[in-house]
Chain A
Amino acid sequence: NAGVMQNPRHLVRRRGQEARLRCSPMKGHSHVYWYRQLPEEGLKFMVYLQKENIIDESGMPKERFSAEFPKEGPSILRIQQVVRGDSAAYFCASSLTTDYNYGYTFGSGTRLTVV
């Protein structure tokens, strides 16, 4: 079991470009969560998805950010027209069920740098 896989590990984008971050959940997990971590901060919730559905996107900025979790393939977090303030580490977690009495499995993250 390879765990939660995120790629790329590091991503550099110029201002105005698009960033695509990928997350493959653990095998059999159908719940995916994206979090953002700014330097010296804790993780902040962005979005919660199940296969083909966005369950909760209350943590997503209203513009430029979108997420999907298609029937086949990884979950994608997409940031359009990146700005320097988007520079952060983006983590994905997955879970098997919605039983919250189990810990979440996190990926190693994608570190986005906007230059």
Chain B
Amino acid sequence: SQQGEEDPQALSIQEGENATMNCSYKTSINNLQWYRQNSGRGLVHLILIRSNEREKHSGRLRVTLDTSKKSSSLLITASRAADTASYFCASIYGNNRLAFGKGNQVVVIP
């Protein structure tokens, strides 16, 4: 079964606003990763947060991890039209397998 599962959402926001999406998982993890997929393209690794970390920043991205609730959130600040994409969280299990959620579709309106 999938270990990473986003709250299935389609977000539509204005450029400059913040976008927040959530992810929950079922079992213990070593890390949680977030990926972006532009329409018709492959996945791009955005950020990885380890199980012993609570918050991590990378540019306009902020990821939080709550292992007690088995959940993570991805915040994109000051969104841009180029941020329009689907965002997936994923966790590692077994033999380096990534388990992906179904993704959040984010549309940033210029």
Chain A residues positioned under 8 Å from B88 (CB to CB): 42-43
B60 part of interface (Cβ distance < 8 Å): no
Q: Tell me if A91 and B42 are in contact (CB < 8 A).
A: yes
A69 part of interface (Cβ distance < 8 Å): no
Which stretch, A12-20, A60-68, A75-83, A102-110, touches the partner chain B? A102-110
A1 part of interface (Cβ distance < 8 Å): no
Query: B residues engaging A (CB < 8 A)?
Result: 2, 4, 30-31, 33, 35, 40-46, 48, 50, 88, 90, 92, 94-103
Specify the main secondary structure of chain B where it touches its partner: strand
A22 part of interface (Cβ distance < 8 Å): no
A44 part of interface (Cβ distance < 8 Å): yes
Chain B residues positioned under 8 Å from A105 (CB to CB): 45
Chain B residues positioned under 8 Å from A24 (CB to CB): none
Q: Tell me if A106 and B100 are in contact (CB < 8 A).
A: no
Q: Which residues of A13-41 are within 8 A (CB) of B?
A: 31, 33, 35, 40-41
Chain B residues positioned under 8 Å from A111 (CB to CB): 40
Chain A residues positioned under 8 Å from B2 (CB to CB): 42
Chain A residues positioned under 8 Å from B101 (CB to CB): 42
